[in-house]
Structure 1
């Protein structure tokens, strides 16, 4: 009963946040009141209210905070996008509604996910195809060759490759130490050779495509799942050494990598050309201060690609660093709820699947926020649920739907 009360309280706060955001947009219209802002806010409130009703009413056993926290983040993202570029926000709203539908359909239609652990080679083939599409058909964007256009639709194959890679690793590692000789280190190591090769090929393709963000993300997912499956820190150290060697080789081979590292080391030296993005991002965050300039009163348009890679900087400028910290806390809470799911999983496949998708979300947030504030070299990936990006929105809600389904199967939530 207390849990239901807390959910309803958070739901009311989400309504309030949505109303305040879009009422603000309505009032700050350039020439007159913006009625479309109120319509957008109403649609968003309806979508997350309906989604919460369906999940709570018909699937009461799982973790409801996964959907609630993801809705809060999506509301903030669409609100800020409407402030920056209303046509982009409308597209994002469509993807948000489709993503919510996918989330619900995964929970409603999928059978027990334990049955999907036997399709290891199907996941492997999908992973290798998706990872290689950028090299074969990709168009270069901001130095990386990772966007593909098919039948008029433009998307990043690596976004979908994340899903299949996690599924493959979960399927491949689920029997580690069980179907092998438990006392034989050699047999255990042999069981890791095939997934290790698949991961190295995937990382190699990302390096060739100069998609540094995806490479870092895939590596984080892989070593986390490896450690959960094996509980052997020695393997993690070996992977870290190999990754550093690969990073050094990439630094020597590709000028794009060297440029990113040099900009990270001293962005102000390149402030008028290659380092313009990160410098404008830092200026934007600093100018917002603790509580921000206020919606519509900042100049986030001066930051390049502000609707995707640098939306966090725009939020900090107009809503303040306090809001930036609040968003990071929301991600932490979402990650915490996601990482509770494996505890109640009934088998190793779903446990590893849940760990992989939870890590995917957390690593993506750390990589992009770290890049925007200059803590690590800029990698150019989206902030999940907040940045503009249809592929990212759909993939994130699909993975959250999988986590929700696993939590429903566990049937042990308070």
Structure 2
């Protein structure tokens, strides 16, 4: 730890005057006397300092990870589907001890992942034995739609551990955070420590490493006895190079509706339009990106897509906005078509026989105006959410 302290002191000195503490008096004096000739030189100096600080910060994080890794965590993973297995593999590599509790029979997968024990979620005796292992952390890696039901199943056993000497830190990894936060605060005892997280990557996007991938977290309720375990758990992701983003659950959902849900919505829409999108010899970079979006979103379960829609109250607003934007664009195209005097209809080749013919512009105009009116008069997202 002495090296970390010295390094931290160096960073403070660098922030104060731009020099490492080991810089000579002559070096400092020379730099201060030679005033920069222009803003470009100032900017270059600032960027050099920034790069140095970033490299030093990464070194501090690596040293911190090595210190924290000397004490293994006992991590319980509830739900052992594709994402649960993906996380467990990294937990084991850290290395930490992993135990698995799953509704489906995942005993073989748990053994392959190096789990020290496996239990079935359906049996009370198994759940009790799973929770009785003095787990440091319990990661809830179930689907969004089954999250509350699973939490209700675990809550009595969590309460029993809270009354014992060692209560686990409860961590969710859902893609929707307000839903997870509300359910955990409502169903878990007040003594339970809660950390809401969202690793914004998965088995596909994170298969080659987690460096610079965002990991969002919110320390919803961390009791004094769980502070150390919380830091050690977060350090797993930090040491893998994740970009750590501490963000409130509500703000996360606002951002996610216009990023994650929108990405899944567009990918699903393009994947189910009957366009038969596939690679061609003349693909542009943009189209290759479109194909990747379709592939990655359609590889995920429809339950995930539904969960992003149903349990993030901001997603409905995004859906309505996209629908209206599409109608507006079509309206502009039809308007230009109706007012276009530069091209006669006879100059436009007819579509091939195997393609559906477009309706007359006036008919399309009426249909689009109807869609636009329906989107504009739709209920607000809050009303939709409360009535569903």
Task: Give the TM-score, by structure 2 length.
Answer: 0.24
Q: Which structure exhibits the higher relative contact order, with contacts defined as CA atoms closer than 8 Å and separated by 6 or more residues?
A: 1
Q: Of Structure 1 and Structure 2, which has the larger fraction of its residues in helix? A: 1
Higher share of residues assigned strand: 2
